[in-house]
Every structure is written in structure tokens, then in C-alpha cells.
Amino acid sequence: MESVNPATGERVETYDEHDDGDVEDALAAADDAFQDWREVPIREREKLLANAADVLRENKERYAKLITREMGKPIEQARAEVEKCAWGCEYYSEHASQHLGDEPRASPAGTEVFTSYEPLGTVLAVMPWNYPFWQVFRFAAPYLTAGNTGVLKHASNVPGCAKAIEEVFVEAGYPEDVFQTLLVGSGKVDDILADDRVKAATLTGSGPAGRAVAETAGRHLKKTVLELGGSDPVVVLDDADIDEHIETMAQARYQNTGQSCIAGKRFIVHSDVYDEFLDAFLDEVDGYSVGDPENPETDVGSMASEGLMEELHEQVRESVEAGATVERGGEPLDRAGAFYPPTVLTDVPKGSPADEQELFGPVASVFEVDSEAEAVEKANDTDFGLGASVWTEDRDRGERVARQIEAGCTYVNQLTKSDPRVPFGGIGISGYGRELASDGIREFVNRKTVWIE
């Protein structure tokens, strides 16, 4: 399994894949480890998770460079990702016992009734490359602290990150085999999920991958949580303060080189501020530094691979052929590496890729609407339903519009983000289930009713 730097095309490292025997050994070890791990008091599990936060911070520079070299993220954003993982660990180290404490229930006099939250066993995590540390810790921090064991099948282009995350838990003092990384291809996922020792699965990735996991899990009656991407609307109303928020709006699209499930992808702008918005947005784009992701001055790095860049460019090309106008960008950069410039499309025709598909890269689609009602209608004109944002100077109006948008999370005057303190997930073809906060940690537990007469 090769790790290739997408900014240079150079090989970073080669790793040995795990074979069927290695997979069998890992699942057996995870099952054995669970029997002891589930009995470890939650306060001790919380302490180990706090240790993991310390390990992350102590090694932040090394891990950030690894992220950047494997998938092209600008180095400052890679550092921020590692820091966010540490924050997520700290959140659950402080709040897991509260989220999983026995919950008293109404009952007749003389009885005691409560809900107990107990671990299920080994959880399989199938994770993507775009946030190669955060996506994993978003799974591992709550589910391990709940008493489950974890087996990670990471994206094949970030094997170094996968091994480094395993290292974090070892150095934090976790018992052997509580968390393991399997370097295997996607073809092995079905058999791993079907194994009786695997009790549940979580996947962040593409729609086809999610459907395959859901189908296998359904046949074996196993719980799953799926986060499958989005085409998030950014609704800019006629009273939005463009000057105040344009930097954040642009960041919502182009951070992580646009390779984010919750990136703002469809900018739906009221006609009264459309020209002002577009001019300001293009000015922001013109100011971005595109280049070497290891340079701290770089705003937009390389995409994660040549193949992904080619897929994105084909979507742009088809949209332009259908009638979209290229305001900025629109062609791969003439240089080594998978570099696609920050691109802005206007006059996007209905039904074109830039209108109805997820563009997983630095391409913004801008739409003009004549009213608040039309903005809401356009925002909901999608099969996706992950995140959304609304921009207005009227907080009450912002809340009203946010409630009308069909998405798992909607932010007013803020970009859509995942935060350990609030539930995260989508509806429609963006998936189901929730991660983070109390909702996330309770996804993979047995919510057991205990009635004592």
C-alpha cells in the first residue's frame, strides 16, 4: 500500500497490506480485548483519552506534516486538524461519564427503573482521507470511551496516518488491541463487517460505499452510522453583511482545498446583494495563495490525487457545456501535482453537475434568487441533507429560515462545522445517525432497561 504525495507525485512510504490471516488475528484480538476493556471503569477510560490528547499535542508537528504529505492539506490546516482531535478527546474525557450515566425512569412506588448504557463490542470504522485524523477521532474518542473496541479500515491513500493514529492510543496507555488499524483494501470490508465478532460499523465516505456497508449490515442486523457527503447550501439573504462575513463564506468553500463533506458548495444569493456578494467573493478568491501545501503561507493546496482532480474537472466541464459561466479558475494548473485552482461558476443550469452533484474540490456554484422563499426552495432542491448556513443581520429571520432548510445541521452567520459539543450528521442521501455530543456516544451502546421490583 503506497503513500504518494499528491503535490509532487513522489512516493512517501510503502506499507505491507494485511492479509486474511492478519484480519482474523485482529478481529480475534479485538474481541478478546473487549471482554476486559468493558469492565474498565469509565473514569479510567476518560483518563486514557485525556492522555491521547496530550500525545496528539506533543506530536502535532509530526502528525501535521504526515497529513499534508499524504493528502495535500495546507500545513496550517493540518496543524488545526490535529489540535481539533485533541479537543475532541478532551471533550469526551470530561463528559463521557455524564453522557453514559444511568438514567432514572418513571416507575411505580417501591421499584427502581433506569436505562443503562452498555458497550456493544467491536466497532468497524471505514474512514476517508480528507480529514484523516479528525474523522477517526470523531469515531474513536466516544466509542472507545463507551467501552467498545475499534478496528479502523482507513482510506488506502493515507496508510501512514492510519498507523500514526494507532500509535497515539498505544502511547496514551490503552490496553493492547483496544484500537487497531487494518491496512486492507475496500474489497475486504464486506467480509469484516459480516464477521460475528464485529457488532456495528460507522462509515464516512461516498454514497456507493455507504450503501454497500448498509446492505451488508442490514443482512446481518448490525447497527450503522453513515455520513455520506453533501451539497451544502449557503443562503445569503438581502440583509446579510457581506463585508463582515465574506472571508468566512469563502473559507466555507475553499478550506481543505474544498474537499469537505460540509463545505459550502451552492451559494444561493438574494438578487439585492448578488452583485456585491459576487464582487467580494471573487476578490477573496483572487487573494488566495495556491501552491506547496507545506508552505505555511499557502491557502489552497493540492487535491488528494490526480484521479480526484480529473473527476472534478469533468464535472466542471460538463456544467460549462450546459451553460455555466466560469468567473475564476476552471482548468487544472499547468504544474506538477494535483492542483486545481479556486473556481467560481455562475449561471449554473438546473440539472448540471454543479447544480445537483457534490463537487468535492475547490469549486463554488453561485445562484441568484429573488426572494427568501425562493432561496429556501433552492436550498432544499437537492437529495443531500448534511449541512447548511444562512447569512442575515436579523437573528430571528435567520432562525426562521434555518428551521425551513432540510439538513442535519444549519448554522446562522457561521460556516457549517463539526463540533464535539453538538450532534453531527445528515438526512437523505447524506446518511443517517449522529456523531459527537451525547447523541454520538450513545449510537453504539445497548440502551438497557433495568427494572428492580
Question: What's the whole-number mean pLDDT along residues 417-438?
Answer: 98
* pLDDT reported for residue 91: 98
* pLDDT reported for residue 213: 98
Say if residues 312 and 359 touch (Cβ distance below 8 Å): yes
Is position 89 annotated as part of the catalytic site?
no
Catalytic residue among 46, 70, 90, 227: 227
Catalytic residue among 261, 368, 372, 409: 261
* pLDDT reported for residue 439: 97
**Tens digits of per-residue pLDDT, 81-127?**
999 999 999 999 999 999 999 999 999 999 999 999 999 999 999 99
Q: How does the average pLDDT of the chain come out, rounded?
A: 98
**Tens digits of per-residue pLDDT, 25-54?**
999 999 999 999 999 999 999 999 999 999
* pLDDT reported for residue 440: 97
What would the grid cell of residue 263 be? 463545505
**Tens digits of per-residue pLDDT, 343-356?**
999 999 999 999 99
Question: What's the whole-number mean pLDDT along residues 49-69?
Answer: 98
Domains of the chain: 2-228+427-452 (3.40.605.10), 232-412 (3.40.309.10)
Say if residues 302 and 339 touch (Cβ distance below 8 Å): yes
Question: What's the whole-number mean pLDDT along residues 315-326?
Answer: 98
* pLDDT reported for residue 335: 94
**Tens digits of per-residue pLDDT, 175-192?**
999 999 999 999 999 999
Length of the chain: 453
Is position 85 annotated as part of the catalytic site?
no
HSE-CB of 57 using CA atoms within 13 angstroms: 13
* pLDDT reported for residue 295: 98
* pLDDT reported for residue 103: 98
* pLDDT reported for residue 271: 98
Task: Indicate the pLDDT class of residue 154, thresholds 50, 70 and 90.
Answer: very high
* Percent of the chain topping pLDDT 90: 100
Question: What's the whole-number mean pLDDT along residues 223-240?
Answer: 97
* pLDDT reported for residue 307: 97
